[in-house]
């Protein structure tokens, strides 16, 4: 019995040491999602794992260090890629990137339309009496709400984006932008509720800390 307990203690100790080695080296880390920026792939308060042993590629969800904060977004373009957002839809090297990713956008709907949705989405009252409801695009299409998707007018530059890129762009009309060496461009899947590369700027490749596993 004593030998069994000693063996069990050694095993537990090895597991604990291994866990902390993986955590502090970045080989395997567990995280809690504290934002809605990557819904529907990563719901708020969901758990996910990352590893720095996996090479990041376009389409991966990645974590990266920016100042003192750790961010998670989808890597959509790497060095040499050309990014273009037109009418709120992402194109990379002229290919429709959004056709292969489940995305969310804001839709301006009435109170009656909002109540008909089940489950109820996160929504913000609008000054014109409507609601900005953050919906999966597939859900909006199924509910017949596609035409209510909010797209920022092309002639209304976003001052935050202008400050970063020096161009008269906004969240829905952005680029074309060629990604320079040692940089990547990231976006949140919840496109109207994400403080991503449109506002943060391009991300240095050496700031990437991990790739999300199985998402």
Q: What is the pLDDT of residues 156-202, one digit of tens each?
A: 999 999 999 999 999 999 999 999 999 999 999 999 999 999 999 99
* Spatial separation of the C-alpha atoms in residues 38 and 80, rounded to whole Å: 25
- Segment 19-23 shows an average pLDDT of 44
Q: What is the CATH number of the domain that holds 206?
A: 2.10.109.10
* Spatial separation of the C-alpha atoms in residues 88 and 105, rounded to whole Å: 9
Q: Based on the structure, what is the number of domains in the chain? A: 1
Is 55 domain-assigned?
A: yes
Is 139 domain-assigned?
A: no
Per-residue pLDDT at 88: 96
CA torsion angle 50 53 59 65 (round to 10): 60
Is 76 domain-assigned?
A: yes
Phi-psi region of 44 (alpha: psi -120 to 50; beta: other; left: phi over 0): beta
Is 86 domain-assigned?
A: yes
> What is the 8-class DSSP label of residue 206?
G
- Segment 203-209 shows an average pLDDT of 96
- Segment 112-133 shows an average pLDDT of 91
Tokens of 10: 């050694």
Query: Could you tell me which of 97, 127, 98, 132 has the C-alpha nearest to residue 113?
Result: 132
Is 71 domain-assigned?
A: yes
Per-residue pLDDT at 177: 98
Whole-model pTM: value is 0.85
**Using 50, 70 and 90 to split pLDDT, how confident is the model at 7?**
very low
- Count Cα atoms within 13 angstroms, Cβ side, for 205: 13
Is 113 domain-assigned?
A: no
Is 37 domain-assigned?
A: yes
The DSSP code sequence of 128-196 is: TS-EEEEEEHHHHHHTT-GGGB----TTS--HHHHHHHSSS--SSSEEEEE--TTEEEEE-SBGGG---
Per-residue pLDDT at 126: 86
pLDDT digits (tens, 9 = 90+) for 43-57: 999 999 999 998 999
Which structural domain range is residue 66 located in?
Answer: 1-102+150-214
């Amino acid at each position: 019995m004593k030998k069994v307990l000693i063996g069990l203690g050694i095993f537990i100790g090895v597991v604990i040491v291994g866990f902390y080695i993986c955590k502090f080296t970045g080989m395997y880390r567990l995280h809690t999602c504290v934002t809605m920026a990557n819904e529907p792939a990563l719901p708020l308060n969901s758990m996910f794992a990352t590893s720095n042993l996996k090479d990041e590629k376009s389409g991966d969800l990645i974590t990266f260090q920016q100042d003192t904060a750790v961010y998670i977004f989808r890597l959509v373009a790497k060095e040499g890629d050309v990014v273009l957002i037109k009418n709120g839809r992402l194109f990379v090297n002229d290919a429709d990137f959004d056709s292969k990713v489940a995305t969310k956008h804001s839709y301006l709907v009435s109170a009656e339309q909002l109540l008909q949705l089940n489950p109820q989405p996160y929504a913000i009252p609008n000054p014109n009496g409507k609601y900005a409801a953050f919906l999966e695009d597939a859900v909006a299409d199924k509910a017949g709400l596609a035409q209510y998707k909010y797209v920022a007018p092309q002639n209304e530059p976003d001052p935050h984006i202008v400050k970063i890129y020096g161009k008269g762009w906004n969240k829905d009309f952005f680029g074309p932008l060629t990604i320079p060496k040692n940089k990547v461009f990231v976006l949140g899947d919840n496109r109207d509720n994400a403080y991503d590369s449109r506002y943060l700027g391009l991300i240095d490749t050496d700031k990437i800390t991990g790739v999300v596993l199985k998402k």
